[in-house]
Amino acid sequence: MRDQRIVEIRNLSKSYQRGGQIVPVLSDITLDIASGEFVALMGPSGSGKSTLLNLIAGIDKPDGGMLRVAGIDIAELSESELADWRAEHVGFIFQFYNLMPVLTAFENVELPLLLTRLTSGERKSHVETALAMVSLSDRMEHYPSELSGGQQQRVAIARAIITDPTILVADEPTGDLDRASAEDILNLMDRLNAELGKTIIMVTHDPNAARRARSLRHLEKGVLTADRS
Ligand SMILES: Nc1ncnc2c1ncn2[C@@H]1O[C@H](COP(=O)(O)OP(=O)(O)O)[C@@H](O)[C@H]1O
Ligand SMILES: [Mg+2]
């Protein structure tokens, strides 16, 4: 799988309707991401980074163009097909973690597995492995409010990888963290990519975070520009 294109985007466009006005956000985006890549997507605030990431993750739908992930034209899927596809193929890491406050770390990570056929014993062993990977074996019964920001983001990463998704997408994953916690998160993403071969697409405007990726794409007012790879 390593050299295969996992994301293929051709002439993708997206605009939003607001108060009768059409606001163009992305125009004519063409982008390939290979399996096993760790890509940083940079650009100023408002340039459309989150919009593009949400399209790739099947959270939002494009107006035009082709969007293929792991060989599937996801723009062609119905809402319910897209929801199933997302559950199977995408792990999402958010800036503000998005953990369920009433669930423990263990329960948060277990949540995506409740949609699978795994038994509770199998789920338990998967969750314990994922939480060990993010060095939180000693915090499994803690609630999000009892964890630091960096620890909450590590729980969110464990939740994102628990179903072994095809792609991991992260929107400003270090945006709310202090420098040391941000480093922990970036080290973890680096390991997921280097050791487990996870394909990672990370939106960031932090140059320190972007440096850790293996390739860089730049968005400027909805258009992809410079490219380091
Ligand atoms: N749901 C929405 N409705 C209307 N406009 C939106 C919506 N989401 C984003 N936008 C607009 O699209 C542009 C790009 O937003 P976004 O993708 O969030 O940028 P970035 O993540 O690079 O900061 C912004 O001008 C924003 O106001
Ligand atoms: Mg954004």
Nearest to 99 by CA among 84, 91, 88, 109: 109
Indicate yes or no: pTM above 0.75. Answer: yes
C-alpha 48 – ligand 1 centre gap (Å):
6
Distance between Cα 126 and ligand 2 center (Å): 31
For 177-226, how does the pLDDT look when each residue is reduced to its tens digit (9 = 90+)? 999 999 999 999 999 999 999 999 999 988 999 999 999 999 988 788 76
Q: Which residues of 163-180 are buried (b: 16+ CB within 10 A; e: fewer)?
A: bebbbbbbbbbbbbbeee
Radius of gyration of the chain (CA): 17
Alpha carbons 85 and 207: distance in angstroms, whole number:
32
Domains of the chain, each with CATH number or no CATH = 5-228 (3.40.50.300)
Query: Which atom of ligand 1 is closest in space to residue 43's alpha carbon?
Result: 22
> Two tokens at 212?
């850790």
Give the SS3 label for residue 173: coil
- Ligand 1 is surrounded, with C-beta below 6 A, by 16, 18, 23, 25, 43, 45-51
Residue 153 in contact with residue 181, Cβ under 8 Å? yes
Smallest CA separation from ligand 1 atom 5, residue = 16
**Cβ 42 vs Cβ 225: under 8 Å:** no
Helix (H) or strand (E) holding 188: helix 179-194
The predicted-structure confidence for 29-72, as pLDDT tens digits, reads as follows 999 999 999 999 999 899 999 999 999 999 999 999 999 999 99
